[in-house]
């Protein structure tokens, strides 16, 4: 279940966020892609919890499995 991922058109232009705290899922995924661990991310952003990071990754995986996007 992805109960920590919220989408509100009035927050961050409707991008998926973590618990409506104005940290977007794509930002967390970029940090993971840059090699940061969940422990490092929650240390830098103490308002996040490890479960937030895991759910962001699950959400990204779900999106990737649902949509095909051509990469030029």
**Which domains does the chain show, CATH number per domain?**
5-65 (1.10.10.10)
pTM of the model: 0.86
Q: What is the mean pLDDT of residues 43-67?
A: 93
* DSSP helix/strand/coil, 71: coil
pLDDT digits (tens, 9 = 90+) for 60-71: 999 888 767 677
How far is C-alpha 26 from the geometric centre of its chain's CA atoms? 5
Q: Give the closest residue to 41 by CA, choosing from 61, 60, 62, 27.
A: 27
pLDDT digits (tens, 9 = 90+) for 8-35: 999 999 999 999 899 999 999 999 999 9
């Amino acid at each position: 279940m992805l109960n920590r991922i919220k989408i509100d058109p009035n927050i961050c232009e409707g991008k998926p966020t973590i618990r409506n705290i104005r940290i977007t899922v794509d930002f967390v995924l970029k940090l993971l892609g840059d090699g940061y661990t969940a422990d490092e991310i929650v240390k830098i952003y103490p308002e996040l919890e490890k479960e937030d990071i895991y759910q962001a990754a699950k959400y990204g995986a779900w999106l990737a499995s649902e949509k095909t996007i051509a990469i030029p």
